[in-house]
Chains A and B, each alone.
Chain A
């Protein structure tokens, strides 16, 4: 087949003196020892492209152990018998670049890196438990004065926050507790002082992290929740992965929601994964719109 294809067809003969034919490559030696190579080619749209390259040849001498040099010339044997010199692609490949810098403080550096991606458990460790009734260091439910004393907020003692909130977080919303101070009757938990945020909205426990939730569309039919989790987990802590599945066939319907712990992680993931090829499809990632 190829032989016939390579032989010039008589019908194409006149093309040889075609003005469109490419001029031959020219090589000129310059005064400063460099070479200029000018070559021509056609690009995809049929335009003629002239390429000028200047090449400087430097001779670098390297001393090689004669025994090693001799072995380099050995012919191959076994499974490699008859193969050409040079590494073959099916056995040899180059890995990704590894940065290896020995250092005395290697262990310490590694730990600091871990701290940056703060662990929620670590955060909790430093948190102090404060009783809402007597301000002591125990949970409200275990307070010895439970039932005998009114919670601190009730008589306007102010200042103190609830159960396990980090200090400072309740300073921002002093007004909320104010609602409960008036009557002295029953105050629903979400209106009590310091019950910041969490009880404000009704709805599923996921609703509040809407801000850090991504909607992923164009997901392959054969995707699994775990695969998605793996893809997104590298950007930060993933709270929830929801992959819509057909009830009968158990195949993915083509969209998924990923809730992150932090909105910044979500933003990063949104930027990076949008357009990422997964399965045989290209993922589309955007922030989820709040269901209203």
Chain B
């Protein structure tokens, strides 16, 4: 088995009596782009800072290239970090900022200059090298911050929400730049974000965190189409998955699931789990599974329609439950109408009362 570039074993972090990272096990392969996602306060940034050495590890082991790094100084872990606020030294020029770490590592001047020039070329920063950070735009600052990381040739790049301070347009642009850069350098990347679009587009592997624990690890499409639990199902995908209360029933001798509000019955024969009659569960319907010609349907009272041109978002009610439906293109639907929204029953996911997926 190939050795992981980065490995976390039962890693925990406590602040006094408060445990913020509750035992994380994770293997990241060389060259892999791994994204930590999760809601605010889930511990994703803390975990990244623990990898960087900016926070102590309370227990467990951190290994980089097979070497235990728990107590190693941040500068000697073979990592480089890009911060949300860029954290460029305001009193130094771009050139000095990028060469700063090398200067402290005792690298000869000529070599520093070469490394800085190489990184500047990759990031198209050559013309800005003698400027101070305050004379740069947000996107340029972010490129300098990335350049500062590149010159160190780290084993692992750590990104802490690097695009959050940029406007929407620039964020998309920088996202593409980071993806290209990863391809070009073939570097191992750990990237923290709360933006699931960033996670989906950049990641080879997504780690979904909640409350200091890993909820699921997998490729973006795996998490989207095969989530382990209701939290991951709800977190990945936009608009969010619809959750409708349901009950296990038997129809014509076949195991089925009935949606409580609408009375619609869905076949459950494909599930490996045998559900006892009357078991309460939750059906998960992604907004995008609704399409004309589906084998099942929901009767919906439309509350609001959002026409976005390329798609139409319908916010409606099925009984008490709010349901969002996403149709491609333009649909002539109006607020207050009642419509029958069709979908394929096979696309519906089911979750138990404990929020775990029923397969």
- Report if A and B associate in a common complex: no
Query: Which residues in A have some Cβ–Cβ distance to B below 8 Å?
Result: none
Query: Which residues in B have some Cβ–Cβ distance to A below 8 Å?
Result: none
